[in-house]
Homo-oligomer: A and B are copies of this chain.
Amino acid sequence: MRLIVARCEVRYQGRVSAVLPTAVRLLILKQDGSVLVHSDAGGFKPLNWMTPRTRVTETDGLITVEKGTGARAERLEIRMEEVLSDSDHDMGEALGLEKDGVERDLQEALAAAPDVLGPGMRLVRREYPTPVGPVDLLCADAEGYVAVEVKRVGTILAVEQLCRYLEYIREDPALASCRGTLVAETMKVQARTLATSRGLATAVVDIAELRGMREPELRLFGA
């Protein structure tokens, strides 16, 4: 990884056009070809950047980063007027990031304990396919089938998505009366409202509690 602190002007032309007037900024040139231009504020996002795969050339204080060809071509030009620092660092191989609590984990926990969605609820199958993509869970209880969409945050977009799935699911005569439930760790009020007006159920769950239900013996130790 090469780190440059320099007074520079940056131009990007590709999906949009952008110009950064001259100022002192941090340039990051990664081993994989990524180039990031960061300022001392603005948080998470680089002011300008290009992701792999790139072609990087440097001549006479001008760094040119290119990507793609023809209509989809992109070009990032960094004109350095004063270099305040320029260093190289060998970082070796990095291991991956371990995450927990994302939608996938929630879906798993729910698949293992579908009865939190109602008495007698059981899992029919996960990732039940439709022409517009798979619905997270297909469940069933005494009253019939229920299509379940799982989200970390329940929004109106999730309601729309579930509606789209149901439209196709109900084309199957056996599933014509299939109900729908949106499950999320946090539910937006607007999502609940829209869901209700479309005849869908909503449920708020906690992943830690879900797992607690799956492994009740662990709770005994904690109690």
List the interface of chain A (C-beta within 8 A of B).
1, 3, 5, 15-21, 23-26, 28, 30-32, 34, 36, 38-44, 46-49, 51-52, 84-85, 87, 89-95, 97-102, 152, 157, 160, 164
Closest B residue to A89 by CB, please name it. B5
A93 to B100, CA, bound (A): 38
Partner of A3, one of B3, B49, B93: B3
Contact B97 A18 (CB under 8 A): yes
Q: Nearest chain B CB to A158's CB is how many angstroms away?
A: 12
Contact B24 A34 (CB under 8 A): no
Q: Nearest chain B CB to A23's CB is how many angstroms away?
A: 4
For residue A32, which residues in chain B have a CB less than 8 angstroms away from its CB?
40-43
Q: How many copies does the complex hold?
A: 2
Contact B40 A31 (CB under 8 A): yes
Q: Nearest chain B CB to A107's CB is how many angstroms away?
A: 14
Closest B residue to A32 by CB, please name it. B41
A92 to B152, CA, bound (A): 39
Contact B98 A19 (CB under 8 A): yes
Q: Nearest chain B CB to A130's CB is how many angstroms away?
A: 14
A185 to B210, CA, bound (A): 45
* Given A16-B102, A18-B100, A91-B25, CB of A41 within 8 Å of CB of B47: no
A15 to B87, CA, bound (A): 35
For residue A40, which residues in chain B have a CB less than 8 angstroms away from its CB?
1, 30-32, 89, 91, 94
Contact B46 A52 (CB under 8 A): no
